[in-house]
Structure 1
């Protein structure tokens, strides 16, 4: 185990908090499909379809902002102001960083009790494009920090609300937003039903190939074409380790070294909180060696062809800012064959406080194994590592390629057509993830063939988007008063 790689954390310890517990461990998946169908229908007694529409907006919720402070207390203090700055840009960026707040709220709503390997933070910004091992671009879930066993409906609720909040941020009219949310939920309901009727391996292998999906979702509607996906695909094709190295690194003799662009990218020699930078390099070497042990033998062979050059701290995401994240530079055949790996800290999923602890030995393994369960095809270099820091606290990481044909949708400039299409694509992937890991027959029969659930979730999305805007006001007021630190 790696010892001594430590950083100071915030001295403001969060107050002990009690969390409501949700039962996702007692569900029995029957062998007989008819029994599974009846069990799904029976779950409506516990959580009627119409009950999902209910959310009562509360104003002035200073207590839930405390959940963000609780998370920040475990993060790199110097980066917390940057986290809050990124979250403060809009109600949607705030929503992206509040997976814990929403899980805390959902734990107080009716729950079906049907478990899946949940995403945990299934907003539309956490879906995108990446390159499969067969070199095809696919569209799927692309963030797994919060994945854990949890109620399937929490994921679709978080997705639906994100469509509504994003629509508001982009100035899309109320009627179009409502239609986009209902189409999103309808797609989920329709796909989970189709997956429940497919052979299991057929459903497991299904995926959204970007080339085939372009024609389906770039449909003409009212004389307009949605080019959002094609634009993202074109950018994704160019995002690989060659492009990352060209953007993030420079040559120093026969070495590739990371650029200095604080606070987003800081070479380890410039991290002032570490007195002995050579010792830090050795610790990162050990972290990477432990990562190698998590790989299959064939992936180890690939990694063994590469030579380590440099490492740096790299800030990522919105809600993830402040979690420890590193990048490592390798080259293979020669200096023009770079590979950049990202090592990102993995902490407890926001779902674990409400649904029980992860069965995996480390949170890095939880993220990796969860990703392999719910993503149609995972990065070949995906693995995990861990160490015990000087303060005795565990530090878990997962490791992947930094850029692997990754393409993000430009969600800040979506029109109503693009929002609707993106919501449907995300719902397709979410249904696929749940069908791979949960009782799709039970879920499909719980949902039924009417649009009652669609309308209920659309109503919930409006109310919870109102709640998000109210919480955002409190968050902004605390920044303005200086209670929460915020980078300029």
Structure 2
């Protein structure tokens, strides 16, 4: 039987083939970033690709968030210790946040799994630490804060993984980060206030609170989702932004699409949740644009109500192949991309959405399903001072270490590789700083492509102006 010390030694021995100091390397950066960006837009709604580029054009940070494929390409050329298991795949600092468990407890963790796929754990950690460097520079915190938050990320991951290495399998499985834990760890008044505000905001972000913001009642008393271009629009209205030949637009009605979704979706839920879902009746469905990197992929929101007219919003989000798929030899176990996302989320989170499941839509497109917005809350980086920003860096890294430990069952090997010194901290600080420089160069080339017309970028205001009365 392999002992705890044996597993630590396996991790330490991996340094021979992959020295920790080599983790500073940037990888495959001799490429045309614009071509990779174009390839990541294939298969998306064409008109919304212009909005995606518009959002990426806002800053180097939104550019970084908007194209995980580019860094995945680069990371494929970097050294790793040779351990592969399901990782997040798009592990930047805005893909963490608060969410409600089925028991209505508020937890903090990784909360975006669109790109989940087997891969080296180093790729997640490198994307996370680089995202903090990019954001710190974008928000003009200064070089000292940039270094501080990057060191905090790696040191926190190191410490948290060492703790995970000593825990039992069930201990790791049940472990979670609550907002009460974050309050106890907060070191400054400003950080405590930020956590308290997030808790209060999450408690308000319910389906009932969302109802008047997203819906309207017609003269017949029928409840429907309100169009709000370019964010929300109905598939078959004159204001639809779908391409003429899109399979969602050519479908007979939104009801037929919903029925197609529900046929397979119900089978992915546990029996008690199927029973709960049966107590709701669908009222309307519309297209919803989400995020930065996801813009142009198909996402629909269905409004359902129970017999007392209390709402439930379900989000059906297209599950495209992971950006990691072309860069790693190990294949995902699930052939259905919606199943890949759901199983990855269930594996990496300590608790998951009550209605999390997967399905297929018209023409066999893959989708996964979850509640829209229910008690979900993200960081408001613009309001963070240096201490709060660093505290956020620590908790993101703690959450990532827990997710990796849970997904892999190999915390001791990872901890053995990292060790107790600052060797990996120093290497990934160097990586983050250099990749932030690389990101700025790529952003400049992206801006040039937009100015020269190779890429078309449009803002929300541009789309809204097209439909002014």
Correspondent of 2:379 among 405, 409, 419: 409
Query: Could you say which residue in structure 1 is the equivalent of 2:391?
Result: 421
Query: Could you say which residue in structure 2 is the equivalent of 1:178?
Result: 147
Q: How does 1:476-487 map to 2 (within 5 A)?
A: 476-487=447-458
Structure 1 residue 341 corresponds to structure 2 residue 307: no
Deviation at 1:280, TM superposition (A): 4.0
Query: Could you say which residue in structure 1 is the equivalent of 2:121?
Result: 152
Correspondent of 1:470 among 441, 454, 466: 441
Higher fraction of helix: 2
Query: Could you say which residue in structure 2 is the equivalent of 1:161?
Result: 130
| Backbone CA RMSD of aligned residues | 1.8
1:340-362 superposed Cα distances (whole Å, 9 cap, x missing partner): 00000001111111113322030
CA distance in 2, matches of 1:37, 1:216: 28
| Worse-matched range after superposition: 43-52 or 31-40 | 31-40
Q: Is the 8 A contact 2:251 2:257 kept in 1?
A: no
CA distance in 1, matches of 2:192, 2:290: 28
CA distance in 1, matches of 2:65, 2:56: 7
Q: How does 1:77-476 map to 2 (within 5 A)?
A: 77-217=46-186, 219-220=187-188, 225=191, 227-252=193-218, 253-270=220-237, 271=240, 273=244, 278-335=252-309, 337-355=310-328, 356-387=330-361, 389=363, 394-438=364-408, 439-476=410-447
CA distance in 2, matches of 1:275, 1:142: 30
CA distance in 2, matches of 1:198, 1:62: 43
1:419-470 superposed Cα distances (whole Å, 9 cap, x missing partner): 1111111001000001112211100000011111111111110000000011
Structure 1 segments unaligned to the other structure (5+ residues): 1-29
Q: Is the 8 A contact 1:55 1:460 kept in 2?
A: yes
Structure 1 ranges of 4+ moved more than 6 A:
none
* SS of corresponding position for 2:11: helix
1:370-404 superposed Cα distances (whole Å, 9 cap, x missing partner): 00000111001000001451xxxx41000000021
Query: Could you say which residue in structure 1 is the equivalent of 2:466?
Result: none
CA distance in 2, matches of 1:263, 1:116: 38
Q: Is the 8 A contact 2:113 2:345 kept in 1?
A: yes
CA distance in 1, matches of 2:257, 2:362: 11
* SS of corresponding position for 1:430: helix
Structure 2 segments unaligned to the other structure (5+ residues): 460-469
The number of residues matched between the two structures is 449
Query: Could you say which residue in structure 1 is the equivalent of 2:12?
Result: 41
CA distance in 2, matches of 1:191, 1:332: 43
* SS of corresponding position for 1:353: coil
1:274-296 superposed Cα distances (whole Å, 9 cap, x missing partner): 66664342122221232111111
Q: Is the 8 A contact 2:84 2:118 kept in 1?
A: yes
CA distance in 1, matches of 2:57, 2:156: 31
